[in-house]
Amino acid sequence: MAAWTVAARQAAHLAQLSSPKSSLNTSQAASLIHRRGLAGGSDHHGPPKVNFWEEPLSPSKWKEEHFVIVSLTGWGLLFYGGYKFFTRGEKDKKEEKVGEGSH
């Protein structure tokens, strides 16, 4: 319920600022609008995260974006390796059949 009232107050405040009858200039209006900025970026909870090459055997300490990149790369290599492993024999057999038929 409290969140609803806060949202209603902000909406009313913004409506008041955006009305053409307002005598506020743009710099005053901009200073009254609440901006979150980078509040979440400096709010550390727990141990600091490191680059994956600094702690290669501890994925729990990696930065989130590094974990995603390394994970997606690993899955891609796994699928590509599996594809190459299971389709390797078919290509050789087709080439041998073509070669035998032409002689």
Residues in the chain: 103
pLDDT in tens, 46-92: 888 999 899 989 889 999 999 999 999 999 999 999 999 999 866 55
Cα 43 from Cα 61, distance rounded (Å) = 17
In degrees, rounded to 5, the angle at the alpha carbon of residue 16 between the alpha carbons of residues 12 and 18 is 115
pTM of the model: 0.43
Using one digit for the tens of pLDDT, what is the confidence trace for 4-52? 666 777 777 666 655 555 455 666 666 667 666 655 555 567 888 999 8
Looking up tokens 């790369």 gives: 73
